[in-house]
Amino acid sequence: MKILLMGNPNVGKSVIFSRLTGAHVISSNYPGTTVTFTKGNIWIDEERHEIIDVPGTYTLKPTSKAEKVAVEMLKEGDLIINVIDATNLERSLYLTTQLMETGFPIIIALNMWDDVKHKGIKIEVEKLKEFFKCPVIPTVAVTSQGIKDLVSATALCLKDLSKSPTPELSDEERWAHIGQIIRNVQQISHRHHTALERLCDITIKPLTGIPFAFIVIGLSFIFIRFLGEGLINYILHPAFERYYVPFIVRLVNLGFPSGIIHNILLGESANFVESMGLLTTGIYVPVVMVLPYVFSFYLILSFLEDLGYLPRFAVLMDTIMHRIGLHGFAVISIILGLGCNVPGALSTRILETRREKFIAGTLLGVSVPCMAQTAMIISLIGPYGNRYIFLIYAIIFAWGIFMGLLLDRILKGGSPEIFIEIPSYHIPHMATLFKKLWMRIKGFLDEAVPLVLLGVLIINILHFIGLLDVISRLATPALRHILGLPKDVVSAMIIGFLRKDVAIGLLKPLDLSLKQLIIACTVLTIYFPCLATFFVLLKELGLKDMVKSACLMIASALIVGFMLNLAL
């Protein structure tokens, strides 16, 4: 049997899903779309049933791709658990009444039941059961309160899955019906604001919210660097040096004592980064140098997501984003892009117009370095001082703003207004947070490690057949006169088409000056998206717009690099 968890966004569906299914879940795209959903299994009366966390929707008359997927998935279900935010009963019941009209057996989970009391709301659960003639279970997903009762109600409903649709209502009739329900089952009394509600007020008002946003961003990146460096210096690097390298060297020496294959596998240097071996550089760069920062970023991102801060940040940024041809929700693409450009590029499909998608995709390529790139930039430039890291990012973001302003003037059309729900703050559920973190880290490793190994292999092959020297000689005049860089940077530029973080890492053994490192890091960040992001943007923008966007990226890299070469 298929059990569907359905409800509005931000009502705690994912936490209830986590409580019901445990750790073994699968996240995938709905066929023919990039809308993700999660499914797992639940055992009831010694029988296994599939449970699906359906994308959040406000209505069964879809207005977005996610809502279309939710409606399509409804056709596949046998039983619906309708998760409701008990503190926003009136809004939530619109979807509930629509679900009742489908005739599916339904269980209502009144989630966030603890907040009901805190907010001075009293809900008569028994009266609500009478109105809908179905089980109504108060739950607090983060503490598991009511989950056992929810499972028991599910077991009873699974014994009788007959359909009994209610009469279809017009919108006017539906809201009148909801109003009647609210008057009979809900009472609200005066109460004082909680600390989280006071924080809600502070973080949504521009006067206090914008300074607060900068504090959040600053503290987040301090946390990311502190935790990332700690993981590298005290755990991953010592473990790599003590356990992995001696084992892998003995293993390779047994099969390939010397020669080309030995050099490809282990490289020609004892330094993990400089060796350019598949099993040394190819593993050390993504796992030891990059993964700690990616882990730290996704940890803080998941916390802010589950807390409910990101929608507030989008609203605060709306006015600024309109200046560069976007609306506030596009800032979510930028935040995701700071972790990895691929989900950032995928999220551009939530933008309403082709114009917005083009601007967002282009800006993502030229001014949003992913966390893997950031890790490499910190590793290379950090020893010279934090001010040089700040200089690189100031240049990148300033150019992004300039490009946004320029594209907003050149491209016809305008940006729609932002329509986004701002949820209440909620303390994140740690098990759900770490499950989400694990899925993101696994996705990074699945993508990063193969592409890094491919990049290292390509460089070795080009080096052995002499083609790398030919390309370097052809590119030397442009590199030297426009960017002030040596011909050896060509190998990094080539790998940049696969993964830009690896490309930046390849600058380390080239013995570049500080000026050359700043120029090279900036140019590699701006000039082209990595292979995975390129294909996502190609699908989202189409071939014609992607070619235009790529030309803008390459031109931007040359212009910024030339200006830096003159200025520095």
Give residue-wise pLDDT tens across range 172-224. 999 999 999 999 999 887 666 677 778 877 887 778 888 898 888 888 878 88
The confidence score (pLDDT) of residue 519 equals: 92
Residue 250: per-residue pLDDT: 83
Q: Which residues contact 309 (CB under 8 A, 6 or more apart)?
A: 203, 216, 425
147 lies in the same domain as 266: no
What's the one-letter identity of residue 327?
Answer: H
Name the packing angle between helices 291-307 and 371-381 (round to 10°).
130
Mark whether 396 and 541 lie in a shared domain: yes
In this structure, the answer to whether residues 59 and 30 fall within a common structural domain is yes
- Please tell me whether residues 272 and 304 are part of one structural domain: yes
Q: Kindly state the percentage of the chain with pLDDT values over 70.
A: 91
What mean pLDDT is predicted for residues 334-353? 74
Pairing of strands 36-44, 47-53: antiparallel
Do 305 and 429 reside in the same domain of the chain?
Answer: yes
- What one-character DSSP code corresponds to residue 33? S
Confidence of residue 124 (pLDDT cuts 50, 70, 90): very high
Of residues 262 and 22, more confidently modeled:
262
Arithmetic mean of pLDDT, 26-50: 73
Residue 546 CB coordination number (10 Å) = 20
Q: Is 269 helix (H, G, I), strand (E, B) or coil?
A: coil
pLDDT for position 274? 61
Instruction: Return the minimum-mean-pLDDT range out of 229-233, 348-352, 543-547.
Output: 348-352
Q: 47 vs 499, which has greater pLDDT?
A: 47
At 396 the pLDDT is 92
pLDDT at 271 over 70: no
The answer to whether residue 72 sits within a structural domain is yes
Distant-in-sequence, close-in-space partners of 474: CB < 8 Å, separation ≥ 6: none
Structure tokens given for 154 = 């599910």
Q: Is residue 199 part of a domain?
A: no
User: Is the domain of 83 the same as that of 141?
Assistant: yes
For the chain, the distance separating the N- and C-terminal CA atoms, rounded to the nearest angstrom, is: 66
Please give the pLDDT value at position 518. 92
The answer to whether residue 416 scores a pLDDT higher than 70 is: no
342 and 449 housed in the same domain: yes
Confirm whether 559 is domain-assigned.
yes
pLDDT of residue 33: 54
Residues 130, 44 within the same domain: yes
Q: What span, in angstroms and rounded, lies between the C-alpha atoms of 479 and 490? A: 8
pLDDT of residue 27: 59
Residue pLDDT, tens place only, 155-178? 999 888 888 888 888 989 999 999
Residues 155, 261, single domain; the answer is no
Q: Which pLDDT score, from 0 to 100, does residue 327 have?
A: 72
Angle subtended by helix axes 386-410 and 371-381, to nearest 10: 140
**pLDDT at res. 163:** 82
If asked whether residues 253 and 273 sit together in one domain, one would say yes
CATH number, domain with residue 31: 3.40.50.300
CB 17 within 8 A of CB 40: yes
3-class DSSP state of 70: helix
pLDDT given at position 197: 72
Tell me which of 145, 163, 192 is where a domain ends. Answer: 192
Q: What confidence category does residue 24 fall into, taking pLDDT thresholds of 50, 70 and 90?
A: low
The model's confidence at residue 498, banded by pLDDT at 50, 70 and 90, is low
Q: How many Cβ atoms from other residues are within 10 Å of residue 135's Cβ?
A: 19
**What pLDDT is attached to residue 532?**
67
Which of 192, 215, 235 is the last residue in one of the domains?
Answer: 192
The highest-confidence range among 214-228, 247-261, 483-497, 498-512, by mean pLDDT, is 214-228
Residue 342 has pLDDT above 80, yes or no: no
Which of 179-193, 226-240, 451-465 is predicted least confidently? 451-465
Instruction: Mention every residue, 6+ apart, whose C-beta is less than 8 A from residue 325.
Output: 355, 356, 359, 404, 407, 408, 411, 415
User: Is residue 197 domain-resident?
Assistant: no
Task: Give the number of domains in the chain.
Answer: 2
What is the pTM (predicted TM-score) of this model? 0.64
Span 53-96, pLDDT tens digits: 998 888 898 877 778 888 888 888 889 999 999 988 988 999 99
> Is residue 431 packed enough to be buried (19+ CB in 10 Å), middle (13-18) or exposed (0-12)?
middle
CA distances 73 to 30, 32, 64, 134, 369, Å, are: 9, 13, 14, 21, 36
Q: For residue 129, what pLDDT band results from cuts at 50, 70 and 90?
A: very high
Q: What is the mean pLDDT of residues 398-416?
A: 84
Q: How far is CA 31 from the centre of its chain?
A: 20
Q: Is the pLDDT of residue 414 over 70?
A: no
Helix or strand run (H / E) with residue 137: strand 136-138
pLDDT on residue 32: 55
State how far the Cα of 479 lies from the Cα of 486, in Å rounded to an integer.
7
Say whether both 277 and 183 belong to one domain: no
Q: What is the mean pLDDT of the chain?
A: 83
Both 175 and 247 in a single domain?
Answer: no
Which residue do the tokens 């933008």 mark?
351
Identify whether 396 is part of a domain.
Answer: yes
pLDDT tens digits, 432-455: 788 888 888 887 788 767 877 777
Q: Which of 137-146, 267-276, 470-479 has the lowest mean pLDDT?
A: 267-276
Where is mean pLDDT largest: 126-130, 410-414, 435-439, 447-451? 126-130
**Which tokens hold the place of 539?**
């699908």
Q: How large is the average pLDDT for residues 366-392?
A: 86
Lowest mean pLDDT among 268-282, 465-479, 549-563: 268-282
pLDDT (average), residues 404-414: 84
Classify residue 171: in a domain, yes or no: yes
In a domain, 198, yes or no: no
User: Mean pLDDT: which of 43-47, 405-409, 480-484 is highest?
Assistant: 405-409
Instruction: Name the residue with higher pLDDT: 337 or 110.
Output: 110
CA distance 504 to 502: 5
DSSP codes joined into one string, 169-231: --HHHHHHHHHHHHHHHEEE---PPPHHHHHHHHHHSHHHHHHHHHHHHHHHHHHHHHHHHHH
From 149, 165, 192, the end of a domain falls on 192
The CA distance from 466 to 472, in Å, is: 10
Residue 157 lies in a domain: yes
- What are the start-end ranges of the E strands in 242-384? none
Token digits of residue 247 = 């084992």
> Which domain, by its residues, includes 261?
204-415+424-567
Range with the poorest average pLDDT among 485-494, 528-537, 538-547, 559-568 = 528-537
The string of pLDDT tens digits covering residues 321-330 is 877 878 777 7
Tell me how far apart the alpha carbons of residues 93 and 106 are, in angstroms, rounded to a whole number: 13
